[in-house]
Amino acid sequence: MPSRPARPASAVRTAAVAALLLAAAIACDGGQEGRTASVAPQNPAWDRIGTLSLNSTQGPRACTASVVQSPRRNLLVTAAHCVENRRIGRPDGLVFTPGYRNGSAPYGSWPVQRITVDPRWSSGADPEYDVAFVTVGTVGGRQVEDAVGGNPLGSGQGFGLAVSVTGYPNEREEPITCSGLTASQSPTQERFDCGGYTDGTSGSPWLTTNGRVIGVIGGYQEGGDAPGTSYSITFDERVAELYREAVA
């Protein structure tokens, strides 16, 4: 299962929680240089982020994904290389476990039903389109957004934004998080500098202080091949159009 290459319920409440968490993390981290992600404290805002694994919560892990707001309340965002590649296609039996910690699945595991990627990713693994929207089924008659809430999608936000990046390294049983500023890698790719984002963290959402998802680890180098630098495609009209297709 491809993942990142190995490396050394209201919108107001959502934004307030995200801003508080990000401010605290930045205060703890201090400057931008030499930062390393730490364990994410338990908090409802981070329960919208979870693992993508095969067949069950305890199955082989693929990547990280997170819940985004959608009309049917059943949508995730992650990296395209997490859910489709030209070698094995799309894996069967993926499940999403939000809020996973230490073997516990407090909200259950949600079966993946549909994957939406850009045709340019499917045909050529173009890193400019390394993002995917994933539709999940119900658990106990509930949609995933009803269980944990969702973050609004943000596009056209530009560079130099304060974000927190939270995800699940395969070797850990708790999510890690780090906060800092985005920077331009190219006009259509952005970067985030902080250590600790190894296998399993592809798809980790980049959340702004107002709780919007403006990126996911992926894109250039499938998310990065240096110990302390992660990448994402810029969330612009490419991503907005893909979202519209996913919710149609």
pLDDT digits (tens, 9 = 90+) for 8-61: 333 333 333 343 334 333 333 334 557 899 999 998 989 999 999 999 999 999
Work out how many domains the chain is built from and give that number.
2
Question: In angstroms, rounded to a whole number, what is the distance separating the alpha carbons of residues 2 and 170?
Answer: 12
- pLDDT above 90: percentage of residues in the chain: 79
pTM above 0.85, yes or no: yes
Domain check: are 57 and 180 in the same one?
no
Q: What is the DSSP letter of 43?
A: -
Q: Domain containing 70: what range? A: 47-150+241-247
Q: How many CA atoms lie within 13 A of 224 on its CB side?
A: 29
Instruction: Please give the structure tokens belonging to residue 224.
Output: 């990065």
Instruction: Please give the structure tokens belonging to residue 91.
Output: 């894996």
Question: In angstroms, rounded to a whole number, what is the distance separating the alpha carbons of residues 246 and 134?
Answer: 8
- E strands along 81-204, which residues? 94-98, 110-116, 132-136, 162-167, 176-181, 183-186, 189-193
Helix (H, G, I), strand (E, B) or coil at 25: helix
Question: In angstroms, rounded to a whole number, what is the distance separating the alpha carbons of residues 194 and 133?
Answer: 25
Domain check: are 33 and 76 in the same one?
no
Q: CB neighbours of 241 closer than 8 A, spacing ≥ 6?
A: none
Domain check: are 159 and 222 in the same one?
yes
The confidence band for 85, taking pLDDT boundaries of 50, 70 and 90, is: confident
For residue 172, being part of any structural domain is answered with: yes
Structure confidence at residue 33 (pLDDT): 55
CATH code for the domain in which residue 216 is found: 2.40.10.10
